Structure 1
Amino acid sequence: MAKLSVVGSINVDHVMQVNKAPCGGQTIEAKHYQIVAGGKGANQAVAAAKLGADVAMIACVGMDAVGEQMKQGLADMGINIDGVTAISDENTGLAMIYVEDSGENRIGIWPGANGALTEAVIAEYKTTIEGSELLLLQLETPIKSLTLAAKFAKAAGVKVVLNPAPAKELPDALLRNVDIITPNETEAELLTGITIKVLSDASLAAKKLHERFGIEMVLITLGKRGVWLSHKGEGLHIEGFNVDAVDTTAAGDTFNGGFVVGLLEGKSVLDSVRFGQAAAALSVTRIGAQSSIPTRIETLNLAL
Structure 2
Amino acid sequence: MPAGQGKILPYDMLQIAEGMASSAAYAVVRLGGKASLWGAVGDDETGKRIIADLSLAGIDMSGMQIVQGARSAISTILVDDGGERLIVPFYDPELHRSAKHISTTEIAIFDAVLVDVRWPELALKVLETARSLGKPAILDGDVAADGVIERLGPAASHIVFSHPAAGKLAGTEDCAAAIGVLKQRFPLAFISVTAGETGAYWHDDVNGCVMHMTARPAKTVDTLAAGDIFHGAFAFAVAQQLQIEDAIRISSAAAALKCQVFGGRTGAPNSDQLAACLAQWTPQISRV
Q: TM-score when scaled to structure 1?
A: 0.84
Which of residues 8, 13, 23 in structure 1 aligns to 2:3? 23
CA-based RMSD of the aligned residues comes to: 1.9
Q: Deviations over 1:170-200 (max 9, x none)?
A: 343321111111112111011111222xxxx
| Aligned match of 2:216 | 241
Which of residues 16, 19, 27 in structure 2 aligns to 1:47? 27
1:214 equivalent in alignment to 2:214 = no
| Aligned match of 2:105 | 127
Measure, in 1, the Cα distance between the counterparts of 2:57 and 2:13: 24
Does the 8 Å contact 1:241/1:278 carry over to 2? yes
Which of residues 136, 141, 153 in structure 2 aligns to 1:164? 141
Measure, in 2, the Cα distance between the counterparts of 1:254 and 1:70: 18
| Aligned match of 1:224 | 197
Instruction: Give the count of matched residue pairs.
Output: 276
Measure, in 2, the Cα distance between the counterparts of 1:83 and 1:45: 13
User: What's the offset of the Cα at 1:55?
Assistant: 1.4
- Read off the aligned partner of 1:193 and give its amino acid letter: G
Which of residues 108, 131, 150 in structure 2 aligns to 1:154? 131
1:34-183 matched pairs, under 5 angstroms: 34-112=14-92, 116-121=95-100, 123-124=101-102, 127-141=105-119, 143-171=120-148, 172-183=150-161
Q: Deviations over 1:44-77 (max 9, x none)?
A: 1111111122212111112223322221232233
Q: Deviations over 1:75-121 (max 9, x none)?
A: 233322210122221222101101000111100111237x5245532
Measure, in 1, the Cα distance between the counterparts of 2:276 and 2:96: 38
| Aligned match of 1:7 | none
User: What's the offset of the Cα at 1:125?
Assistant: 5.7
1:298 equivalent in alignment to 2:278 = no
For structure 1, list consecutive stretches of 5 or more residues without a partner in the other structure. 1-20, 197-201
Does the 8 Å contact 2:70/2:92 carry over to 1? yes
Does the 8 Å contact 1:168/1:187 carry over to 2? no
- Read off the aligned partner of 1:116 and give its amino acid letter: L
Does the 8 Å contact 1:181/1:215 carry over to 2? no
User: What's the offset of the Cα at 1:228?
Assistant: 0.6
Matched position secondary structure for 1:56: coil
User: What's the offset of the Cα at 1:156?
Assistant: 2.3
- Read off the aligned partner of 1:299 and give its amino acid letter: L
Does the 8 Å contact 1:63/1:90 carry over to 2? yes
Measure, in 1, the Cα distance between the counterparts of 2:220 and 2:84: 9
Measure, in 2, the Cα distance between the counterparts of 1:124 and 1:147: 10
Instruction: Report the identity percentage.
Output: 23
For structure 2, list consecutive stretches of 5 or more residues without a partner in the other structure. 280-288
- Read off the aligned partner of 1:78 and give its amino acid letter: G
Does the 8 Å contact 1:94/1:112 carry over to 2? no
Identify the range of structure 1 (169-178 vs 223-232) with the bigger mean alpha-carbon deviation. Answer: 169-178
User: What's the offset of the Cα at 1:258?
Assistant: 0.9
User: What's the offset of the Cα at 1:273?
Assistant: 1.0
Measure, in 2, the Cα distance between the counterparts of 1:144 and 1:263: 24
- Read off the aligned partner of 2:133 and give its amino acid letter: A
Which of residues 230, 234, 237 in structure 2 aligns to 1:262? 237
| Aligned match of 1:185 | 163
Measure, in 2, the Cα distance between the counterparts of 1:118 and 1:296: 38
Structure with bigger strand share is 1
Distance 1:117 1:51, change over 3 A: farther
- Read off the aligned partner of 1:138 and give its amino acid letter: D
Measure, in 2, the Cα distance between the counterparts of 1:298 and 1:175: 33
Does the 8 Å contact 1:161/1:181 carry over to 2? yes
Measure, in 1, the Cα distance between the counterparts of 2:22 and 2:252: 19
Does the 8 Å contact 1:83/1:125 carry over to 2? no
Measure, in 1, the Cα distance between the counterparts of 2:98 and 2:133: 18
Matched position secondary structure for 1:38: coil
Measure, in 1, the Cα distance between the counterparts of 2:77 and 2:151: 32
Measure, in 2, the Cα distance between the counterparts of 1:289 and 1:139: 19
Measure, in 2, the Cα distance between the counterparts of 1:111 and 1:125: 27
- Read off the aligned partner of 1:237 and give its amino acid letter: H
